[in-house]
Amino acid sequence: MIKDENLLERRPDGIDDDTVEAVGTLSEALEYVERARGHLYSFHQLMGHADLLLGDSCDKLRDAGHPEIADRLGTDMVGRNVLSGRWTFQIVEEFDDDYWSRLRDHERTVRDELMGGQRHVFEAEMKERRRTKGRRGHEASP
């Protein structure tokens, strides 16, 4: 746990406000990509579950005496690619390898180069400006 009695100490010497804001915006962009990645994983799980339900539906249609409909639905939709040549796990892997991991690496490198590796400098300074010093619930750190 990081103990920040003075949140302003996170900013490296010589770093101006514009740089802190720019790096903060990059970190915010990464946070949005992290959220998008979570939605992508939700899509992956939802589509996988839907495919299993389609298979169950085909079995039930067959059991109910509708084999032609079950075969038509099953042949066309069960196991079908959601995008050309791709199941959702392939979309997730491609996103992780080609975009998400690269942006994470860039964000970390920029923080290392400009902020001495410190995270959330912009937010730490905002907290320091906005909190009421000495008031319960407004402590700088736990």
Q: What does the alpha-carbon distance between residue 71 and residue 119 come to, in Å, rounded to a whole number?
A: 55
- What mean pLDDT do residues 80-94 have? 98
Cα–Cα–Cα angle for 120, 124, 126, rounded to 5 degrees: 120
Contact assessment for residue 66 and residue 51, using Cβ atoms and an 8 Å cutoff? no
pLDDT for 102 equals 98
pLDDT for 140 equals 86
Per DSSP (E only), the strands in the chain are: none
Q: Is the pLDDT reported for residue 8 higher than 90?
A: no
pLDDT for 1 equals 43
For the chain, which residues make up each domain, given as ranges?
Answer: 16-130
In terms of pLDDT, which residue wins out, 77 or 139?
Answer: 77
Contact assessment for residue 6 and residue 104, using Cβ atoms and an 8 Å cutoff? no
Is 128 buried (19+), middle (13-18) or exposed (0-12) by CB count in 10 A?
middle
Helix (H, G, I), strand (E, B) or coil at 31: helix
pLDDT for 141 equals 86
Helix (H, G, I), strand (E, B) or coil at 136: coil
Q: Is the pLDDT reported for residue 54 higher than 80?
A: yes
CA distances from 45 to 31, 48, 53, 116 (A): 21, 5, 12, 38
Largest CA distance in the chain: 77
pLDDT for 28 equals 97
Contact assessment for residue 30 and residue 107, using Cβ atoms and an 8 Å cutoff? yes
Strand partners, 36: none
pLDDT for 9 equals 80
